[in-house]
Amino acid sequence: MTNPFFEDWTAPFGAPPLDKVTAEHFRPAYDRALVEHTAEIVAIASDRAPPSFENVVVALEKSGRLLTRVDSVFGNLASSATNEDLQAIELEMAPRLSAHWSAISMHPVLFARLDAVYQQRETLGLDAESLRVLERYHLDFVRAGAQLQGASRDRLAEIAQRLAVLGTQFSQNVLADEENWILPLTDAQMAGIPASIRDAAASKAAELKIEAPYAVTLSRSSAEPFLQYADDRGCRETLYRAWVSRGDNANDHNNKAIISEMLALRAERATLLGHENFAAFKLADSMAGTPQKARALLEDVWGPARLRALEERDELQDLVTRQGGNFRLAPWDWRYYAEKLRQEKYDFDEAQLKPYFHFENLIQASFYTAQKLFGLSFRELSGMPVYHPDVRVWEVLREDNVIGLFYGDYFARTGKQGGAWMSSFRDQEHVNGEVLPIIVNNCNFSKSDPCLLSFDDAVTLFHEFGHALHGLLSQVRFPRLSGTNVARDFVELPSQLYEHWLEEPDVLTRFARHHQTGEPIPKALLDKLLAARNYGQGFATVEFLASALIDMDFHTLPPGSDPLEAQAATLRRIGMPEEIAPRHAASHFTHVFAGDGYSAGYYAYMWSEVLDADGFKAFEEAHDPFDPATAHRLHKFIYSSGGTRDYATAYRAFRGRDPHIEALLEGRGLITTAAA
């Protein structure tokens, strides 16, 4: 059997042959890649020459190239086009890969050589980026347990392997609950649903081959529009209860035991590494620095957000009563009556936007913004090897030079995780020649013809493209510092900042055009959109903050605590309105439990929002959303520098000062409530 991983990749720019890769290729590819990487590590550790930056750090950066190649392709397919074969490999490889990396991080001779270089760092004459990557490598090894001895070292490796397995199981359980639940709907049950959403539900029913004319699933892009518009209260309740109980049902996909074990193992890991709890361990390598600082930000915003949410609740309850509803507002009612009240208060129906938010135009809007800010252009390529027909590929150019490839995978489907994310098939670097990045955006929009997006969908598209630009614009030497390889509470800055340009009149008037007539969005409708921009921010902020506070509390729990009881205790402590549920409950909180990415780190979205709200003020102060001087600083210090600088220093270099929280409160429309 030929194996694409053992052959030269001949597609343009060395893109992976995704049309040829199948599940059977991964086990032998991983086997060879792990053997090769192990041999490279042994060679670095056993080098008889005195340890130096070149023969330790640079050698580490050059090692494991086949493993990186295999892992990047597998990771993308396991998230975006999985099946039973890939899921079996995922579960099998999780502990093997964890053991492999633990063996490297805890290799005593290798760490001794790295530590020797680190101790001499001030006398080596290193440039700033080389010094930074040396410091990051040393910290990575220490945080992975390189300084532990004996039983503690072995136990940490066991914990890492077990957590890798549990995170994979958690993710697969959530995906199974999402894919195994379908709500078939009749014409009568679709009453109130706008045409574009109705079309998407009809397409989903046809795709799933069910007898009913319409179907809604537990994908956010399917569930939220139904909850927002469906007149049938019983169907809204049915969908809502299924949506919030993903991973917490009486079936084989229940995540409660996994959550408990993961939290206990994370706490033990932190203790072994000398930290009070896992949150303290995780945030020691972040902008926030401590759980106390992260929690202080969340609680500073919680007060005004909760007050605003309670005001919104009372307004919605009044609307229920005025419309003859003899019931108390419930969580499955909130989005529905919030949409009704928005129409009443602002004469603004979000459904009126959809004809002007054609999917193709929004892609071009995101490209246009990148051209205006950073001088980029995008040329779509045909015939590129992809893993699904929905995937599209563009080459990205700056000053007529190709700087990377961009893959867009925008639609929900079976075998694809919910949510939206950015990933890569290859990161930018030039340790050994210039390597161009290959960056991927994944969204889960409902596929229909025409494909019309909600405003929230459009925000998601811009958000993920902001992440993509962080990878595409990277201009660093070392892979360890490339693109989005930055602190968790900094990585959301480029993505959240990019969202601001969606609301710019210059962008909307150019690209928000009626999908049938081509007419630009009417100024009156645009004015209503902008006037209503902060409507519902109490709800949106509260549902996010509740999840972030639950995450922080989970990772400061004493050993043996029941996480679901702890979740309930957190909601009681903060006075969570019972009509609002956390955006992510524990049982389907994939940010936190499907791996280690956002564990004790979900607060990072809010931390980064302080930066992005304050950062966009720089353009407002320049009286030009595309001010060239401000855009140049943004490119130089934020989008292109990866992890080469201290993150607070990078922000100050862009902004000229530290960020102010007032911009966030103002941007969310909470500043007046806070003052009151």
CA distance linking residue 414 with residue 321, whole number of Å: 41
Torsion of CA 21, 24, 29, 35, to 10 degrees: 170
DSSP state of 57: I
Residue 568 contacts by C-beta under 8 Å, 6 or more apart in sequence? none
178 is catalytic: no
Q: Which two tokens stand for residue 481?
A: 């510092």
Q: Count CB neighbours of 16 within 10 A.
A: 23
Q: What whole-number distance in Å separates Cα of residue 472 and Cα of residue 87?
A: 29
Q: Alpha carbon 400 to chain centroid distance?
A: 30
Distance CA 581, CA 567 (A): 11
Which of 339, 464, 492, 543 is flagged as catalytic? 464
Cα separation, 177 vs 217, whole angstroms: 10
Contacts 24+ apart (CB under 8 A), 505-513: 506/625, 506/626, 507/365, 507/368, 507/369, 508/365, 510/365, 510/368, 511/361, 511/362, 511/364, 511/365, 511/368, 512/353, 512/356, 512/357, 512/361, 512/365, 513/356, 513/358, 513/361
Cα 445 to Cα 638: distance, rounded to the nearest angstrom: 29
Work out the number of other CB atoms within 10 angstroms of the CB of residue 45.
Answer: 19
Which of 637, 560, 630 has its CA nearest to residue 267? 560
Q: How far apart are CA 280 and CA 309, in angstroms?
A: 31
Q: Please tell me what DSSP assigns to residue 56.
A: I
Taking the C-alpha atoms of residue 122 and residue 249, their distance in angstroms, rounded to an integer, is: 56
Strands 214-216 and 183-185: antiparallel
CA 542: distance to chain centroid?
A: 19
Please give the helix or strand (H or E) that residue 493 lies within, else none.
helix 488-499
SS3 state at 468: helix
Radius of gyration, CA atoms only, the chain: 25
End-to-end CA gap in the chain: 71
Active-site residues, by number, are 464
